[in-house]
Amino acid sequence: MPSKTLTFVFAAERGTPIPLTEHRCKAAVPVAGKYRVIDFTLANCLHSGLRQVLVLSQYKSHSLHKHLRDGWSLFNAELGEFITAVPPQMRYDSGWYRNAMDALRQNRYLIERSSADTLLLLDGGLVYRMDYAELIEFHRQQGAGISCALRQAGPGSAAGGVSVEVDASDRITAIGAPAEEAAPYASTMGVVLIDKGLLLEQVEALAAGTEADMDSGVDLATQLLSPFLEGRVLASSAPMAYRFGGERGRVSQDRYWSDLGSTDAYFRANMDLLKAESPLDLYQADWNILTYQGQYPPARTVPGPTSGNEGIFVNSMLAAGSVIRGGGVSHSVLYPRVQVEDGAIVDEAILFEGVQVGANARVRRCICDKDVVIPAGACIGEDRRADAERFEVSAEGIVVIRKGQPF
């Protein structure tokens, strides 16, 4: 069944957190010590047997395209398999993708020439694990025209969330903003399955019906479902709800989902991985998350050249090519080729690839983008007022040092 499904991964938006998407789209933002955000969606496709994947790209897409080339050139074109980036082709006009429905309209020719009978539409800027093959099975069992995966959300995730009402037969009846009460609710999660014929029949009406939402960041499911639920376009049956995190599927049910919707949400998502029992299972042997990994030497700790103190790290992630020379790292996530020099202290920090922390520097509650160089003796994350004069500081006090930002 997955072989009859064409997958679209939407990775065209800048997205959030804003400081980390200055030079890359959200789908290409590093996460969890070695991955990019899109790796989770693509790994779900791979393990679900989906081998025909089109990645719709647009905003500062070079980093994303390079990552797809280096890390995901593993499908066999001779067998009809592919992961292909599709920037705007401008077949209808000279415009960019204005939202998800417009992107589908602009790529109608790719849908028409596909032998698939269903289309899986995925937001490439989210972190979760899911067996899409079970969603496809559910869709066929229900005889549905549209099926939308729903997650259980709570009051802590209400900001910007979408609440979905579902009847006893799993039919979606309404979609809107969450109620203010502190109660769980069903919410969209960037996963929609639709019959190819239905989409082709209605794609022009869907694109026209979302003109008011152009460039507004309205989520994928809302753009697709609202016109059907409001009667602006017609389908033979109501959209169906597939419950994420149930017993179906081969993925271990950690029920984790994150949209990394802010600097603080991004920071918390990475720090959560350091818990004794991480909410996101990265270690399921038959559901590994693939990515590109450079051919770097092993990470290591060595004594400091001046102090002679051993380099140490405590409850941290340490990627290949990183070296701690007499410094100390605790409760932190270090990406490849990070250098921590003699006497430096790194605590509750996220250091992207190539970051260098000078001797005797102190870095706390900080995110450093790629190739940032922190001078010897510098102090970050201890004086909020001083940090705010030089860098961006989040609502929860997380300091963000952007790529190329001078001290």
306 and 264 inside one domain:
no
Contact 228/146 with Cβ under 8 angstroms? yes
Q: Which residue has the higher pLDDT, 90 or 130?
A: 130
Count the neighbouring beta carbons within 10 Å of the beta carbon of residue 73.
Answer: 11
260 and 340 inside one domain:
no
d(CA 260, CA 15): 9
Question: How would DSSP label each residue in 2-64?
Answer: GGGEEEEEEE----SSGGGGSSS-GGG-EETTTEETHHHHHHHHHHTT--EEEEEE-TT-HHH
The pLDDT value recorded for residue 176 is 85
Interacting residues of 64 by C-beta distance below 8 A, sequence separation 6+: 11, 24, 25, 27, 28, 36, 38, 55, 57, 85
pLDDT band at 404 (very low <50, low <70, confident <90, very high): confident
pLDDT band at 228 (very low <50, low <70, confident <90, very high): confident
210 within domain boundaries? yes
DSSP character for 171? B
- Averaged pLDDT for residues 99-110: 91
Interacting residues of 98 by C-beta distance below 8 A, sequence separation 6+: 214, 215
* Model confidence at 177: pLDDT above 70: yes
d(CA 228, CA 46): 30
Which CATH number covers residue 82? 3.90.550.10
279 within domain boundaries? no
291 within domain boundaries? no
pLDDT band at 210 (very low <50, low <70, confident <90, very high): low
Count the neighbouring beta carbons within 10 Å of the beta carbon of residue 109.
Answer: 11
260 and 197 inside one domain:
yes
194 within domain boundaries? yes
Count the neighbouring beta carbons within 10 Å of the beta carbon of residue 22.
Answer: 13
The pLDDT value recorded for residue 131 is 96
The pLDDT value recorded for residue 220 is 83
Q: Which two tokens stand for residue 383?
A: 């004086």
38 within domain boundaries? yes
52 and 164 inside one domain:
yes
The pLDDT value recorded for residue 326 is 97
Residue corresponding to tokens 């500081």: 393
**Which region among 50-64, 82-96, 308-322, 378-392 has the lowest average model confidence (pLDDT)?**
82-96
- Averaged pLDDT for residues 162-187: 86
The pLDDT value recorded for residue 217 is 56
171 and 268 inside one domain:
yes
Q: What is the mean pLDDT of the chain?
A: 92
Count of domains observed in the chain: 2
* Model confidence at 6: pLDDT above 60: yes
The pLDDT value recorded for residue 213 is 54
Contact 43/84 with Cβ under 8 angstroms? no
Q: Report how far apart the first and last C-alpha atoms of the chain are (Å, whole number).
A: 55
Contact 171/241 with Cβ under 8 angstroms? yes
d(CA 91, CA 235): 27
Q: Among residues 381, 368, 365, which one has the least CA distance to residue 339? A: 368
259 and 317 inside one domain:
no
* Model confidence at 100: pLDDT above 60: yes
* Model confidence at 215: pLDDT above 60: no
pLDDT band at 154 (very low <50, low <70, confident <90, very high): confident
278 within domain boundaries? no
The pLDDT value recorded for residue 297 is 97
The pLDDT value recorded for residue 227 is 84
The pLDDT value recorded for residue 157 is 59
Which CATH number covers residue 377? 2.160.10.10
| Full residue range of the structural domain in which residue 6 is found | 2-272
309 within domain boundaries? yes
* Model confidence at 180: pLDDT above 80: no
The pLDDT value recorded for residue 212 is 53
- Averaged pLDDT for residues 315-325: 97
d(CA 111, CA 124): 19
pLDDT band at 181 (very low <50, low <70, confident <90, very high): low
289 within domain boundaries? no
Q: Has this prediction a pTM greater than 0.75?
A: yes
d(CA 123, CA 213): 17
The pLDDT value recorded for residue 237 is 77
